[in-house]
Structure 1
Amino acid sequence: MPLSSLHPVRARASRRQLGAAAAALAVLLAVFASAQGASAAPPPSGADLGPNVIVFTPDMPQSAIQAKVDAIAAQQVDSEMGTGRYALLFAPGTYGTPANPLRFQVGYYTEVAGLGASPDDVTINGSVDVYNRCFTDGSGCIALDNFWRSISNLHIAVAGGTGCQANTEFWAVSQAAPMRRMDITGGGVSLMDYCSAGPMYASGGFLADSKVAKTIVNGSQQQFYTRNSTIGGWSNAVWNQVFSGVQGAPAQSFPSPPYTTLPTTPASREKPYLVQGTAGLSVVVPPATTNSTGVSWSQAGSAGRTIPLSDFVVAKPGDSISRINAALAGGKNLLLTPGVYSIDRSIHVKRAGTVVLGLGLATLTAENGSTPLVIDDVPGVDVAGITVDAGPVNSDVLVQVGTKHQRGRGGSSAADPISLQDVFLRVGGPHAGKATVGVQVDSDHVLLDDLWLWRADHGAGVGWTQNTSDTGLVVNGDDVTATGLFVEHFQKYNVIWNGENGRTVFFQNELPYDAPNQAAWQHDGTLGYAAYKVADSVTTHELWGAGSYIYTNVDPTLHATRAFEAPVAPGVRLYDLTTVSLNKAGTIDHVVNDTGNAVTPSHQGPETVVEFSG
């Protein structure tokens, strides 16, 4: 089938039961234990980053590196709701050769990153892949659940592989699997795994600050966001492919094909990253930019400020939150090593310029209804690479950014904004969870870059009255910019934007699957709730490239009156909006307000609105 004709239907199983025979499990554990015994370098700083940060060096035997990465992949590739967390860090140098390439998979909760000042300081001849996940229940091989993993700061000279997999870097992922700060040369890059058994669906990813020499195969990726990169081309679109500040991006052509292309990114800040130097590890914090294009690491003066690891409190699961807060108040930054942290009181960031950096998708779990992370309205705070889980006792908010009474007191600014990158929230999934709001932004001048806020549709503790959560994101601050915003399945408005001068580049949403009936999912004479609500009082707001999909698998007759709601005002402009009805279940009557045709079980769409403005 030509790639241009791929229009897959997206639906995840409500629950995956993945078991293994005891003998197979014993073999896996034995292999993993053997690989754990392979020689691995200590952290180059001499700091104790815990057992799940593995640092590889070029002088290690390639067989030892291969054994370790393969064993971790074998443990993590099916561990969707598990507790294992890993950071695989590569010191500057070259790994593998074209004749003997280093090729390995990246499973759940695994971060792969280079430790160079530039991506080209660490070269892997081979590939670092995510393939389709093949289920033992006969439901096939898909990438729809390939979440919670990342790759960054590497040069991959693609090599090796046989047959269909030869000379290709596969990154077949969906939400919460960012690829950042990469230089990929040699072979091709595919965002779907067309080599495994069907149906081969993939649904949503994030690529930033990267160079890809050849044309990227989008394939079945239903939506994808690429920011501030240089690419050799893009193969095809499905529903909602968005580019901003990307050299080599396809031209604006929405809705046919559905490419949304902005020449620059209005506001952005690249994620902080670890670097190995002669004095040990440090963290580089890139500066904020406006109207930018292309990669940051080829431009003079792009590095930003450098913070030695000695200026961080290095936390491990089980550490006292009081100790962490005391260190933060005393001037330290926070490095969260891989693991799951029980948070019974807020980690509170009060000092300007504080960096909170998670390794290996470090996960903060709310206990007793806590708000795991609170950030005061102070400039320059950067929080990156963390997952935040709701707990069984309802939290009012999971991540709080500023407070209303702090605004206007010299806090976050356009020149030095509070920034959140690769921050992922879950309400249900790994365990029972409840939260009224996921992220609440009360500060002005905040950057939100690659957020996936998820009320779980499968896993543990899932159900209309079990993992309750009203809204994924509430923005009360002014001049807030979101680049790459994924918000799914919340029970009321998924996003409420109350602040002025808000901007979102790329939005992806699925409405809740599990409303039991229309009476449970309606308000004020309106059926359902819009995915993205711009408050009636707002006079200036912009949104580019947004998709909202409906799949009501409990009651397929449910309607949502509209997917997007916005006031009719000269400064409110929404561009390139898409709606789809999935799997013949659910109806969206209009795209935005009362504009746009319905998608229904018999007319699944997509339906589009190219421009909505006052």
Structure 2
Amino acid sequence: MKVLSRTQMLIALLLATTAAQAAGKAKPPDFGPNVEVFSPATPAAEIQAQIDKVYAVQQHNQFGSERNAFLFLPGEYKVDVPIGFYTEVLGLGATPDATHITGNVRSEAAGRNDNATTTFWKAIGGLSVTPAGGEMLWAVSQAVSFRRMHIRGDIVLNQNKGWASGGWMSDSVIDGRVNSGTQQQWISRNSEWGSWTGHNWNMVFVGVPQAPAGEWPDPPFTGIEKTPVIREKPFITIDAKGNYGVRVPDLAKKSAGATWHAGATAGKTIPLAKFYIAKPGDSAAIINAQLAKGMHLLLTPGIYELSSPIEVTRPNTIVMGLGFATLKPVHGTAAMKVADVDGVTVEGLLFDAAETESPVLLEAGPEGSKARHSGNPTLLADVFFRVGGAGIGRAKVSLAINSNDVLVDHTWIWRADHGTGVGWENNTAANGMVVAGNDVTAYGLFVEHYQEFQVLWKGNGGRTYFYQSEIPYDPPTQAKFTSAPNVNGWASYKVAKNVTSHEAFGLGVYSVFRHPDVRLTRAIEVPSTPGVRFHHMITVALGNLGAIDNVINNTGGATQMKPRVTPTVTSYP
């Protein structure tokens, strides 16, 4: 692991002290009532009281309407930070070491018996943490962002060996040990640690210098030495003069490890004054007028009920959400449309379908997009989708990618299997993600419970690094879950027949059928051509009903519960 030198640590401390002094005197922007900005000058008891007040609401608030963000200015803090649903915690320094918390920063399992499999929708970033007792608890599942973190100790990814179904880590350094424990699957990108212990079904390491040793399938590790292409997610910062800005990292190719060892992540800073800071209640018309003027967009925490789409039409526009800002298209439109232009970023948002069916929730490029963007691609980072759960929701497609060269950096695309408004005829949704663009790359692709193909990939040159999918629990009969003659169900991951080049690494597809006599013929369906290559695949049955009959095409064999059989395929073809 790359360790910071004494000189680097002293420089970071000096910069943090200077920034903290300036920031403490600066008046923060108006982020609205759901954002708290803390300074080292704020009494610790006052900070703790506010954190505890929010956690009392958010700890078990899985489908609630509250949204929150805590922003810590650079400096030293001694507080405990439990993080509940729809809560984002961020440090605002140029590096994580600029904002240091000593205390019990944690994510606890949301379910009974330490079960974290429904611990969703929370985020942390830009902090250095010295954990109480030496080990940070981070019991999480899908839609939990962990970025630009420095843990001065160990981290455990489950709670008391209760189940967990995560997860994501990027641009982070763990000085000690990462213990994945009962995590079913995990992806780490551009991160570093002293050691790693644990595995279950599918663990993927991309651009991780200290990836654990071992070969698929035992242990189930997939290691990619270099991250082929990525632009890290933009983040809010404050400089030594107390000026707020958004740091936009440079595009990086063939990278490994964290970006911030030598100081600020390479890139440019856009003054926050160039962002329109939206509040819940702002209409799409108001937001679009600001975007048309050339403003970037920051959506503060809350639920935005939209009667028409947010239209992102200018190149290099940054659209960022705080505290799981939620976009809900209430009149059967898309929530957001992005033009086929260079360099757009959409990050930190939850797209939530409404009762009137939308054709798509987020569209990256209109149908028929042709322009190339390899030198300045669109980035979709920490974008999450939900159809049902908080109420009846309907959307034919959640995420449609028509532009070329798009980067997807962590997404959970979810048709709800529990909550309100859930049922085969209620929260209807055909596909999670449909890709028509060429050379689209996805890191950390989680897609679950859609009624047809979870992922339908129609463009050439696609690449996926980590895929996790549960197929729908609730097909009532096989007749309602049949995609073609003699084909039971829809494959979770479908590459269209016209595709001649595609590659994917580390894929897990699971079934939990709730009705008898329902099966899936294959988890992954692809054209048999040398340019379409898949590596390290597993299928798992999590219930006694039904089965997945093959892993990929007609290869791999069937899942089985008694005795337990979890088929794996190392490579295809």
TM range (shorter): over 0.9
User: What is the aligned partner in structure 2 of residue 143 from structure 1?
Assistant: 116
Shift of 1:565: 0.7
Per-residue Cα deviation, 1:519-569 (whole angstroms, up to 9, x for no partner) = 01012121011000011111110000000001111x143110000011111
Aligned: 1:188 with 2:154: yes
In 2, Cα distance between equivalents of 1:299 and 1:343: 42
Map 1:92-111 → 2, pairs under 5 A: 92-96=74-78, 102-111=79-88
Structure 1 residue matching 2:123: 3-state secondary structure: strand
**Are the aligned partners of 1:83 and 1:339 in contact in 2 as well (CA < 8 Å)?**
yes
User: What is the aligned partner in structure 2 of residue 19 from structure 1?
Assistant: none
Map 1:341-352 → 2, pairs under 5 A: 341-352=304-315
The unaligned stretches of length 5 or more in structure 1 are 1-40, 97-101, 160-165
Shift of 1:343: 1.0
Q: Output the TM-score relative to the length of structure 1.
A: 0.88
Aligned: 1:512 with 2:472: yes
Q: 2:255 aligns with which of 292, 313, 324?
A: 292
Per-residue Cα deviation, 1:346-391 (whole angstroms, up to 9, x for no partner) = 0000000000000001000111101001000100100100000000
Structure 1 residues 244 and 263: CA distance shift in structure 2, 3 A: same
User: What is the aligned partner in structure 1 of residue 6 from structure 2?
Assistant: none
Structure 1 residues 143 and 598: CA distance shift in structure 2, 3 A: same
**Are the aligned partners of 1:171 and 1:192 in contact in 2 as well (CA < 8 Å)?**
yes
Q: 1:158 aligns with which of 115, 119, 131?
A: 131
Paired residues, what number?
Answer: 549
Aligned: 1:374 with 2:337: yes
Structure 1 residue matching 2:325: 3-state secondary structure: strand
State which drifts further: 351-360 or 59-68: 59-68
User: What is the aligned partner in structure 2 of residue 209 from structure 1?
Assistant: 171
In 1, Cα distance between equivalents of 2:218 and 2:330: 48
Shift of 1:45: 5.2
**Are the aligned partners of 1:44 and 1:281 in contact in 2 as well (CA < 8 Å)?**
no
Structure 2 residue matching 1:212: 3-state secondary structure: strand
Structure 1 residues 299 and 167: CA distance shift in structure 2, 3 A: closer
In 2, Cα distance between equivalents of 1:336 and 1:249: 36
In 2, Cα distance between equivalents of 1:605 and 1:143: 24
Q: 2:187 aligns with which of 225, 242, 254?
A: 225
User: What is the aligned partner in structure 2 of residue 564 from structure 1?
Assistant: 524
Aligned: 1:133 with 2:110: yes
User: What is the aligned partner in structure 2 of residue 498 from structure 1?
Assistant: 458
**Are the aligned partners of 1:42 and 1:55 in contact in 2 as well (CA < 8 Å)?**
no
Q: 2:423 aligns with which of 460, 463, 470?
A: 463
Shift of 1:70: 1.3
Structure 2 residue matching 1:404: 3-state secondary structure: coil
Per-residue Cα deviation, 1:38-59 (whole angstroms, up to 9, x for no partner) = xxx9995542110111011001
Shift of 1:71: 1.5
Q: 1:58 aligns with which of 40, 59, 63?
A: 40
Structure 2 residue matching 1:405: 3-state secondary structure: coil
Q: 1:398 aligns with which of 346, 351, 361?
A: 361
Equivalent residue letter for 1:286: P
The unaligned stretches of length 5 or more in structure 2 are 1-22
In 1, Cα distance between equivalents of 2:257 and 2:35: 31
Structure 1 residue matching 2:104: 3-state secondary structure: strand
Per-residue Cα deviation, 1:210-246 (whole angstroms, up to 9, x for no partner) = 0001110100000000000111121111000110001
In 1, Cα distance between equivalents of 2:25 and 2:36: 8
Shift of 1:602: 2.7
Q: 1:536 aligns with which of 497, 504, 514?
A: 497
**Are the aligned partners of 1:584 and 1:604 in contact in 2 as well (CA < 8 Å)?**
no
User: What is the aligned partner in structure 2 of residue 323 from structure 1?
Assistant: 286
Shift of 1:134: 4.2
Aligned: 1:123 with 2:100: yes
Aligned: 1:452 with 2:386: no
The percentage of counterpart residues that share the same residue type is 44
Q: Output the TM-score relative to the length of structure 2.
A: 0.94
Structure 1 residue matching 2:285: 3-state secondary structure: helix
Structure 2 residue matching 1:592: 3-state secondary structure: coil
RMSD over aligned Cα atoms: 1.4
Structure 2 residue matching 1:88: 3-state secondary structure: strand
Runs of 4+ in 1 over 6 A off after TM superposition: none
Q: 1:355 aligns with which of 315, 318, 332?
A: 318
In 2, Cα distance between equivalents of 1:556 and 1:283: 52
State which drifts further: 121-130 or 440-449: 121-130
Shift of 1:321: 1.4
Structure 1 residue matching 2:527: 3-state secondary structure: coil
In 1, Cα distance between equivalents of 2:25 and 2:526: 51
Shift of 1:300: 6.9
In 1, Cα distance between equivalents of 2:286 and 2:27: 22
Structure 2 residue matching 1:559: 3-state secondary structure: coil
Per-residue Cα deviation, 1:280-339 (whole angstroms, up to 9, x for no partner) = 211111122121100011257843121111101110010121111011011000000000
